[in-house]
Structure 1
Amino acid sequence: MAIFEFKLPDLGEGVQEGELVKWHVKAGDSVKEDQTLAEVMTDKATVTVPSPKAGRVVQTHGKEGDIAKVHHPLVTLEIEGAAPAQAAGHGAPAAHGAPAAAAAAQPQALSAKGDGAQAASKVLATPLTRRMAREHGLNLAEIAGSGPQGRVMKADVEAALAGASAAPRNEVAASAPAAQARPAAPSVPQGRGDERIALRGLRKKIAEKMVRSKFTAPHFGFVEEVDCTELVALRKRLNETLAASGEHTKLSFLPFIIKAVLAAMKKYPHLNANMDEAAQELVVRGEFNIGIAVATNEGLTVPVIKNADRLTLRELANEVVRLSNAARDRKLKMEELTGGSFTITSLGQTGGIFATPIINHPEVAIMGIHRMRKRPVVDKNDQIVVREMMNLSISADHRVIDGQVAADFVYEVIKYLERPDMLFLAMA
């Protein structure tokens, strides 16, 4: 028998760490080759980590909620024969039943040497934050973190670069006046009958991403109503035609809205973009990869429809259903969660009058679709008529998208939704 120390393998896309969401084994358990050892949540997706060998679990490293680092010990196994050398890509995790993305990450380079490097490796920080610190020669251990559990956020690194908070942690703690240090988050006293729910897994990642977006991109919001009466009639006719031909596809409103957004982007391409924070550049994407927000039991997930402009209405409808089901069943592939250039979030029947969604950073805009309802309106002949009305909202990164541009983009989308026959000309 031999002892084999299994290290967390590459997770792909340059990811260097992930949160231990759930252990599937414990010390003393016997495991088979390829049996799931743990679930790890990265910034991209939840991945399952399989065992590279059959054997007995001697020790698991870390508890649920801890941060596991690539190329650091995850599980110690007792196996038969000599312990094999761990290959760089062996046992690469898969995103809940799907093949893993190609491993591209290298072991995390530290931003300092000796004791400073060792201390930096223990600091809670996202891969983006670590990369920024490394590129600018900063030691994460010397930066006061403002995130949960002292996590160093991107804003903290930016502040350190600006000279606002470059004092080492121990100096900050001992310095006077104390106002120079970031105040610690107040603890909530325990009350009778209270239930405490740890912020973990997808919910924790959502929280981190929303905070990063709101503190990085100044949001500009705009709302306008759209008359969907003609769209409702067209959708009904098309679905009747599909049903009569034996087609199982049923068109929702979302494929039409996606097509309207794509048509509007031809006139306003800067909405189909990402913001490169490191280079301070607006990257106008050459592909149209539309994210669709899907509510799951664990929280909101945004799968991405790749090259949406190349799909027909029927193909878009099928892809929306496929990705939505995969998100709820936790079977999305890594590549289906990355590369988005614009996001649409539909609040469905509970959409209310309007809302201002948070941008899916590094994208520069997100559109919200709200509840459609029949309302009396005054038509062009000054007659009161009943129409199918719905509100559209947009949130845009005001650093790179002017308010006028965001508003004009919404009106361009509305033009296609109010005259949906024009969509077929735009698709030609």
Structure 2
Amino acid sequence: MSTEILMPKLGLTMTSGVVDEWIKKEGEPVQKGEHVCTISSEKLTAEVEAPADGILVKIIVAEGEEADVKEPIGIVAQEGETIDTQQPEETVSKPKQNQRVQEQLVPVSAKKPLVSNGERIFASPLARILAKEKNIDLTLIKGTGGNNRITKRDIEAYEHSATREVASTTDVVASSKSTASQNMGAGLTGMRKVIAKRMKTSLDQTAQLTIHRKADLTAFIKFKEEIKRHLSDTEIAGSLSLTVCVSKAVILALKEYPEMNSWYEPDTNGFQTFDEVHLGIATALSDGLMVPVIRNAHQMSLKELSGAITKVTQAAREGSLAGELVTGSTFTITNLGKSGIEYFTPILNTPETGILGVGSLQDKLTLNNDGQVITTKELPLSLTFDHQLIDGAPAAEFLGRIVSFIEKPYSLLL
């Protein structure tokens, strides 16, 4: 009995995905749970497992093609089993009983082809949407996907070709610049392609401004020492790390400045603030970057927050992060302190309107009350916000409130 390999839903907002690479080829044996291909969505890349033991008899969605969530991308069947993988011809007569089984193996997008001049046109759902939005006639495009299906890549290539032809008739110099611009990022695949797209979109759709400030850690260091004297090592393990305490300071400040705990969707002009704090923790991976989400972080104690941060960042690095913890953050924290960076300009994790960058600890020479020169520790912080929605003054107040919580660390226990 044949089994379809379906495009998985990796996150709450995922509607389609791209097949980046087929690890297994047609005709090769597979075992249930074995990785057969890698796919990517807007925010994540993942490996797809074989749903059953057997032979990969058909690759429906080729590398580089896009498919809707739950749409078949391949077929696994038993050795010796015959599967009709051809696209069914359109017919007026009622299908026979044995035709119904074969029809189930055809992608949904292929069951409802466009018809023009008597010819059938096969196109992915996303390709149809793009063609409609850009007023492109699908009959003018030659598909490069499986069974000559038109893909998103074909639409983009056609649009690029048409744009270049128009530009060349008016301004050769402008045409060369346009071509160079549109070729930026060519060849990127997998997670890097996803990151490139999201970073570019973030900068294109927002008015990002970054402000900086340092937090004096003198009181924080004393706070940690005093807590350690009164609690056992087991009780405080990791709970008083700088990352955890900065996260708690951000959560408390967000409750006072809800406009920073928000989403903005420029396409719909939608602006939404949240009572709940779903904290994103930017996490470096060997091949890119991911932002796992700590849901309902505002309800957690320092100890609970510490455990949650450790759990999601470790899962992200191991590639075992649950889909619901990939999207939905309302504010993000990113830390380059271990790299020795003092200040930087974090890019917004859209649709969020704020992100806090944490730098490396800095030594500062100052005078104590007795006039003696002493060394203190300071923590550089960089806040990026969307100036379309938030003015400089309230953003500065928000950053100042974070600093206040850090410099008065007992407030973090509230």
- Do both proteins adopt the same fold according to a TM-score greater than 0.5, normalized to the shorter chain? yes
For the residue of structure 2 that corresponds to 1:210, the secondary structure is helix
Work out whether 1:285 is the aligned partner of 2:283. Answer: no
- Corresponding position of 1:183: 178
Distance in 2 (CA, whole Å) between partners of 1:279 and 1:323 is 31
Work out whether 1:297 is the aligned partner of 2:286. Answer: yes
- Corresponding position of 2:165: 174
Does the Cα contact within 8 Å between 1:141 and 1:169 map onto a contact in 2? Answer: no
- Corresponding position of 2:324: 335
- Corresponding position of 1:208: 197
Does the Cα contact within 8 Å between 1:53 and 1:79 map onto a contact in 2? Answer: no
Shift of 1:331: 0.8
For the residue of structure 1 that corresponds to 2:203, the secondary structure is helix
Does the Cα contact within 8 Å between 1:8 and 1:68 map onto a contact in 2? Answer: no
Instruction: Show CA shifts across 1:43-96 (max 9, x none).
Output: 2333332333432223435665x13312655224443668695999x9xxxxxx
- Corresponding position of 2:306: 317
Work out whether 1:261 is the aligned partner of 2:250. Answer: yes
- Corresponding position of 2:88: none
- Corresponding position of 1:228: 217
- Aligned AA (2:405): Y
With over 3 angstroms needed to count, the CA separation of the structure-2 counterparts of 1:349 and 1:396, relative to structure 1, is same
Distance in 1 (CA, whole Å) between partners of 2:219 and 2:136 is 60
With over 3 angstroms needed to count, the CA separation of the structure-2 counterparts of 1:324 and 1:139, relative to structure 1, is same
Shift of 1:238: 3.2
Distance in 1 (CA, whole Å) between partners of 2:340 and 2:327 is 26
Does the Cα contact within 8 Å between 2:346 and 2:384 map onto a contact in 1? Answer: yes
- Aligned AA (1:67): E
With over 3 angstroms needed to count, the CA separation of the structure-2 counterparts of 1:299 and 1:389, relative to structure 1, is same
- Corresponding position of 1:161: none
With over 3 angstroms needed to count, the CA separation of the structure-2 counterparts of 1:403 and 1:211, relative to structure 1, is same
Q: Give me the TM-score of the superposition, normalised by structure 2.
A: 0.76
- Corresponding position of 2:347: 358
Does the Cα contact within 8 Å between 1:343 and 1:366 map onto a contact in 2? Answer: yes
Does the Cα contact within 8 Å between 2:282 and 2:334 map onto a contact in 1? Answer: yes
RMSD (CA atoms): 4.0
- Structure 1: 5+ residue stretches without partners: 91-105, 143-147, 153-166, 189-195
Distance in 2 (CA, whole Å) between partners of 1:151 and 1:213 is 23
Distance in 1 (CA, whole Å) between partners of 2:296 and 2:62 is 40
Instruction: Show CA shifts across 1:254-299 (max 9, x none).
Output: 1211111122122211000010223212210121001011111011
- Aligned AA (2:134): N
Distance in 2 (CA, whole Å) between partners of 1:378 and 1:117 is 81
With over 3 angstroms needed to count, the CA separation of the structure-2 counterparts of 1:236 and 1:202, relative to structure 1, is farther
Distance in 2 (CA, whole Å) between partners of 1:213 and 1:108 is 31
Instruction: Show CA shifts across 1:346-389 (max 9, x none).
Output: 11232422101101011001001111132113568876432111
With over 3 angstroms needed to count, the CA separation of the structure-2 counterparts of 1:390 and 1:86, relative to structure 1, is farther
Pair member with larger Rg: 2
With over 3 angstroms needed to count, the CA separation of the structure-2 counterparts of 1:356 and 1:140, relative to structure 1, is farther
Shift of 1:124: 7.4
Distance in 2 (CA, whole Å) between partners of 1:352 and 1:11 is 33
With over 3 angstroms needed to count, the CA separation of the structure-2 counterparts of 1:45 and 1:345, relative to structure 1, is same
With over 3 angstroms needed to count, the CA separation of the structure-2 counterparts of 1:245 and 1:305, relative to structure 1, is closer
- Structure 2: 5+ residue stretches without partners: 84-99, 138-151
Work out whether 1:407 is the aligned partner of 2:396. Answer: yes
Work out whether 1:40 is the aligned partner of 2:35. Answer: no
Percent identity of paired positions between Structure 1 and Structure 2 = 26
Distance in 2 (CA, whole Å) between partners of 1:171 and 1:385 is 67
Does the Cα contact within 8 Å between 1:123 and 1:151 map onto a contact in 2? Answer: no
- Aligned AA (1:13): L
Does the Cα contact within 8 Å between 1:239 and 1:251 map onto a contact in 2? Answer: no
For the residue of structure 1 that corresponds to 2:133, the secondary structure is coil
